[in-house]
């Protein structure tokens, strides 16, 4: 090994450490003054570092502070907390919107809404599911098909004749639909579960509303709200 080879080895000695090369280098340093000086300086420096750097106790809380800093700098933690801070309120808003939508479609919020939906249904000219003379117990017919008991009101109006019925939907709510006739005029009666009504209604007070070319009477009686469209 010559001087150049020794110095080359010296720079890379942490990785070039096979036994053969170490004994060659050792041999060269022993016989070459200059290279032995390089070796001595290096050895002295290592010893000095070992001597001057000694273990000290870490000040209170320093490790914690370092750890916290690492966490706040660390991309993963940071991203997940930013994500959570953004996503959590967005999810809350989405949930509120869904609640609001389902609430608005599931319940009747005003007597006008009941009137409007009744008139829309009345104009659809839906076919009857049964004829009045074919069904003995109309309440039973509805009880088998709806989730709430339906009572048929006594409408003391001369010339008004019940001809049939069906179930149908007003908005999202299933209701009982009764078909009446007065002369040639088609009259619709909707029987709604009061649990679906989310506004104040006085018992047996008639609310009269004109809608398009129709007239609507809406009243509450016991567990039913009725809407009569003519």
What's the rounded Cα separation, in Å, for the pair 184 and 161? Answer: 11
CA atoms within 13 A on the CB side of 32: 17
Burial class (CB in 10 A: 0-12, 13-18, 19+), 119: buried
Q: Which residue's CB is nearer to Zn ion, number 25 or number 191?
A: 25
Q: Which residue's CB is nearer to Zn ion, number 29 or number 197?
A: 29
What's the rounded Cα separation, in Å, for the pair 205 and 225? Answer: 11
- In whole angstroms, the minimum distance from the beta carbon of 21 to Zn ion comes to 15
What's the rounded Cα separation, in Å, for the pair 142 and 166? Answer: 8
What's the rounded Cα separation, in Å, for the pair 49 and 71? Answer: 32
- In whole angstroms, the minimum distance from the beta carbon of 17 to Zn ion comes to 19
What's the rounded Cα separation, in Å, for the pair 180 and 133? Answer: 13
Provide the binding-site residues for Zn ion, judged by CB under 5 A: 3, 32, 35
Q: Which residue's CB is nearer to Zn ion, number 39 or number 227?
A: 39
* Through-space distance between the first and last CA atoms of the chain, rounded to whole angstroms: 116
Q: Which residue's CB is nearer to Zn ion, number 3 or number 22?
A: 3
- In whole angstroms, the minimum distance from the beta carbon of 43 to Zn ion comes to 16
- In whole angstroms, the minimum distance from the beta carbon of 20 to Zn ion comes to 18
Q: What contacts 24+ positions apart, CB below 8 Å, involve 46-49?
A: none
- In whole angstroms, the minimum distance from the beta carbon of 37 to Zn ion comes to 9
Q: Which residue's CB is nearer to Zn ion, number 25 or number 178?
A: 25
- In whole angstroms, the minimum distance from the beta carbon of 34 to Zn ion comes to 5
Q: Which residue's CB is nearer to Zn ion, number 26 or number 130?
A: 26
């Amino acid at each position: 090994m010559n001087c150049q080879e020794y110095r080359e080895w010296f720079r890379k000695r942490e990785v070039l450490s096979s036994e053969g090369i170490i004994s060659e280098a050792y041999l060269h340093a022993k016989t070459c003054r200059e290279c032995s000086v390089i070796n001595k300086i290096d050895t002295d420096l290592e010893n000095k570092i070992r001597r001057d750097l000694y273990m000290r106790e870490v000040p209170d809380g320093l490790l914690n502070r370092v750890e916290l800093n690492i966490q706040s700098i660390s991309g993963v933690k940071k991203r997940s907390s930013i994500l959570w801070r953004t996503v959590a309120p967005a999810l809350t808003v989405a949930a509120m919107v869904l609640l609001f939508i389902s609430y608005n479609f599931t319940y009747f919020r005003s007597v006008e809404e009941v009137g409007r939906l009744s008139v829309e249904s009345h104009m659809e000219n839906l076919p009857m599911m049964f004829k009045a003379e074919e069904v003995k117990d109309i309440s039973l017919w509805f009880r088998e098909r709806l989730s709430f008991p339906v009572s048929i009101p006594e409408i003391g109006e001369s010339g008004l004749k019940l001809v049939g019925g069906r179930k149908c939907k007003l908005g999202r709510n299933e209701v009982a639909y009764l078909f009446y006739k007065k002369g040639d005029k088609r009259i619709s009666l909707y029987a709604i579960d009061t649990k679906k009504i989310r506004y104040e209604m006085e018992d047996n007070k008639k609310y009269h509303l004109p809608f398009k070319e129709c007239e609507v009477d809406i009243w509450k009686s016991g567990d039913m709200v009725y809407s009569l469209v003519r």
